[in-house]
Structure 1
Amino acid sequence: MSEPKNEANRGLIDKITQVEQEYGKNFSNTQKILLTTDGSITAILDVLYGKITLSTLDQHFEDADEYHAKLVNVNKGDEINYREVIMHRNGKPLIYAISHIPLSRCTKEVCADLIRADIPIGRILKNYNIESRREINNIYIEKPNETLKELFGTDEDMLARDYVIINHDKILMWIKEVFPISYFTEI
């Protein structure tokens, strides 16, 4: 394994340890895997639960404001796809996710699948053999907003991470994934 990869892994382990210390709780191995993987969350959930499904809560195109332009490294005003989804199995919500995707960096086929909605991003990347890498920006705990409280039926703290998917040295997508802190503790 290359030295930069080892450094990145060490950084993620340190970040998990820091969040655990701040929160005063050790996370399960499954939680740690979901928070630190540089692979597809969909694939991990499929292994754990059988094929999961995805429901789109909101999806629309918008012009990037200054904040979102910076997230995906585009110019303010560039068109991005905003997508808000819930991954679930048999009606049980597993992970809530938001993504921002610059349309100028997607092929027509990828854009069409995004618009069709209920296809996880990990499956879209796999279906089109898009070579990419994920770089995790942050791992943290947050208080749930009203949407999260309603979706998960709880007001407990949430584990969250955000990361970018990079293709040809450009940010293809920015994604945030969130789940209740009591989830994925049994496996």
Structure 2
Amino acid sequence: MRSNLQQSLSCTRIDPFTLSNFQKILLTTDGTITHILEVCLLEAIQIVKLSEELVLPTQDIPFVELTQKTEIIDRKVLLRGKKSGKNFIYAESLIFPEKIDEKFRDKLLGTKTPIGKIWFDCRVETFKEIFNSGKEPANELASYFNIQSESNLLFRTYGVFSKQQLIMLITEKFPESYFTEAC
């Protein structure tokens, strides 16, 4: 197991041996979650945009050095099965528009296409680095998954780099009770 993931899991008191193989894949992959879900669940995945807005940060963003005059795209989405209608993943993305190509930005803002598919369509070369992972209470996100607010979500936060620059910070969350069986 990569040392940064092992350190993250131990800091948040997640025992990797309590996770299913599918959960470990979702927490450690540097591939796109959408594609992995489609392959493992045998279901097309669509995104549901909850919000997407251009904002000025009002506080420091962990893992990122920005001035308060740097605009970011704050995007919140659900990855939902097209047939089942089940929400599988909640994702929050902070995107740095001045660091991404115009075609990519237009597709991101103008379509309901998952980020990973836009990377592929635009042929964006990326490198991903996991910064943090762990578990936390679902709280206000519980309603998206039809679980109790005190139920746990597993999460990971990673940076997406292109041309050696951080272009996005993404956090993906899913209920601890999901994906407990083999893919």
TM-score by length of 2: 0.88
Per the alignment, residue 163 of structure 1 pairs with: 158
Find the residue that maps to 2:24 and give its secondary structure: helix
Question: Distance between the aligned counterparts of 1:180 and 1:154, measured in 2?
Answer: 8
* 2:98 is equivalent to residue 98 of structure 1: no
Do residues 184 (structure 1) and 179 (structure 2) align? yes
Q: Which runs of 5+ in 1 are unaligned?
A: 1-7
Given candidates 49, 67, 77, the residue that maps to 1:75 is 67
Q: Is the 8 A contact 1:73 1:171 kept in 2?
A: no
Q: Is the 8 A contact 2:5 2:132 kept in 1?
A: no
Retained in 2: the 8 A contact 1:102–1:173? yes
Letter in 2 for 1:173: M
What CA distance in whole angstroms lies between the structure 1 residues aligned with 2:7 and 2:165? 26
CA distance in structure 1 between the partners assigned to 2:63 and 2:111 by the alignment: 22
Contact kept, 8 Å, 1:56 with 1:117, in 2: the verdict is no
> What count of residue pairs does the alignment treat as equivalent?
176
**Alignment root-mean-square deviation, CA:** 1.9
* CA displacement, residues 48-71 of structure 1 (integer Å, 9 cap, x when unaligned): 123211110111110123313x54
CA distance in 2, matches of 1:175, 1:79: 16
Deviation at 1:142, TM superposition (A): 0.4
- Please state how far the C-alpha of 1:17 moved relative to its aligned partner: 5.9
The TM-score with structure 1 as length reference comes to 0.86
Contact 1:141 1:158 in 2 (8 A): yes
1:54 paired to 2:44? no
1:101-139: CA deviation from partner (whole Å, max 9, x where unpaired)? 011011211111111242111111111111111100011
Compare the two structures and name the one with the higher helix fraction.
1
Q: Please give the secondary structure, in 1, of the residue aligned with 2:128.
A: strand
Q: How does 1:2-81 map to 2 (within 5 A)?
A: 9-13=2-6, 15-16=8-9, 19-21=13-15, 26-49=18-41, 50-68=43-61, 71-81=63-73
**Contact 2:4–2:130 (CA under 8 A) maintained in structure 1:** no
Instruction: Give the distance between the partners of 2:55 and 2:131, measured in 1 at CA.
Output: 23
CA contact (8 A) 1:72 1:172 kept: no
Structure 2 unaligned regions, length at least 5:
none
- Maintained 8 Å contact 2:96/2:167: yes
Amino acid at match of 1:150: S
